[in-house]
């Protein structure tokens, strides 16, 4: 307290001048319309800039919540896609004299699980990444994994709460794909060089291809629904020794910034494998 009084006594003249200056400015801006308008303009601009900076900082710290909300929304939208439901192809119908409460799940083929990426590699020949979902959350091996913009990989190892995914940037990874415009099919695989590009092989030269055309997963894929983005054509390589094109694709997924993914469960996969295995035994 003594120090406060000593400070006031020492700087009393300056403090008195400061108080008078504040009163003078108050009367100037309060009773002079021109100066009041000028002051309000400067004050409004300054307040706007401060608010803009504050909103920018607040937006940065809310990015995590925003991303999580977008992931949940994308997951809900994916569950509503038409290709998630695939009824048996039959011209005859058996009518049961009762109403099924959950009749939609009879035709549902794909189920989705969102997950966060907790480990990722892109610099090796055979790359993998880790997600924070495992057996306790219902995840199994050989399920497909996609990013918000396209294919990402396949689950190869599952723990209680974590799973390892073979990245699409892995030389052992292949996916059956097709040209979105014309429907010609081929196989897409990474060549181990640039993580931003993959190669699509076995595309017949009769197909109409051009730079910028989209390549999507085909109905022959065993882990993905048809129509998931794979990439866009960056270069058409004409192999004179064969009747097929090789297409260089710009990957639709940015593997350098992979944060959230979606795991896909094929609810009808077991039945499909079972009937195919039975045919092989007969042959």
Mean pLDDT in residue range 85-90: 48
Confidence (pLDDT) at 35: 56
| pLDDT tens column, 130-146 | 999 999 999 999 999 99
3-state secondary structure of 153: strand
| pLDDT tens column, 92-135 | 444 344 444 445 556 778 889 988 898 888 888 899 999 999 99
| pLDDT band for position 44 (cuts 50, 70, 90) | very low
Confidence (pLDDT) at 79: 64
| pLDDT tens column, 247-273 | 999 999 999 888 889 999 988 888 878
Contacts of residue 230, defined as CB under 8 A and 6 or more positions apart, other chains included, come to 150, 151, 175, 177, 188, 198, 200, 215, 216, 217, 249, 251, 252
Q: What percent of the chain has pLDDT over 90?
A: 37
179: which 2 tokens? 């040209």
Confidence (pLDDT) at 234: 95
Confidence (pLDDT) at 9: 74
103, 87 in Cβ contact below 8 A?
Answer: no
DSSP 37: H
In sequence order, which ranges of 33-96 are alpha helices (DSSP H)? 33-61, 63-79
Contacts of residue 249, defined as CB under 8 A and 6 or more positions apart, other chains included, come to 188, 197, 198, 199, 200, 215, 230, 231, 232, 233, 234
Domains in the chain, CATH or no CATH each = 2-61 (no CATH), 174-253 (2.40.10.350)
Confidence (pLDDT) at 21: 78
203, 170 in Cβ contact below 8 A?
Answer: no
């Amino acid at each position: 307290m003594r120090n406060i009084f000593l400070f006031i006594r020492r700087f009393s003249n300056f403090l008195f001048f400061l108080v008078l200056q504040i009163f003078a400015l108050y009367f100037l801006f309060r009773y002079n319309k021109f100066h009041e308008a000028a002051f309000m303009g400067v004050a409004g601009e300054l307040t706007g800039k401060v608010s803009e900076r504050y909103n920018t900082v607040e937006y940065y710290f809310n990015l995590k919540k925003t991303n999580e909300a977008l992931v949940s929304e994308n997951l809900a939208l994916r569950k509503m896609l038409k290709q998630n439901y695939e009824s048996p192809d039959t011209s005859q119908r058996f009518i049961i004299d009762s109403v099924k409460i959950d009749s939609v799940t009879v035709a549902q083929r794909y189920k989705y699980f969102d997950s966060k990426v907790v480990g990722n590699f892109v610099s090796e020949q055979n790359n993998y990444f880790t997600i924070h979902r495992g057996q306790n959350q219902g995840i199994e091996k050989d399920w497909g994994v996609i990013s918000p913009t396209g294919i990402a990989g396949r689950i190869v190892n599952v723990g209680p709460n974590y799973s390892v995914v073979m990245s699409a940037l892995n030389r052992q990874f292949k996916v059956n794909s097709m040209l979105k415009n014309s429907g010609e099919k081929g196989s897409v695989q990474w060549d181990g060089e640039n993580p931003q590009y993959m190669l699509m092989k076995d595309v017949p030269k009769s197909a109409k291809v051009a730079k910028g055309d989209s390549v999507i997963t085909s109905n022959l894929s065993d882990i993905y629904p048809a129509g998931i983005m794979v990439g866009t054509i960056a270069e058409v390589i004409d192999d004179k020794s064969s009747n097929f094109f090789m297409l260089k694709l710009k990957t639709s997924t940015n593997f350098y910034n992979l944060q959230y993914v979606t795991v896909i469960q094929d609810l009808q996969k077991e039945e499909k494998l079972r009937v195919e295995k039975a045919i092989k035994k007969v042959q």
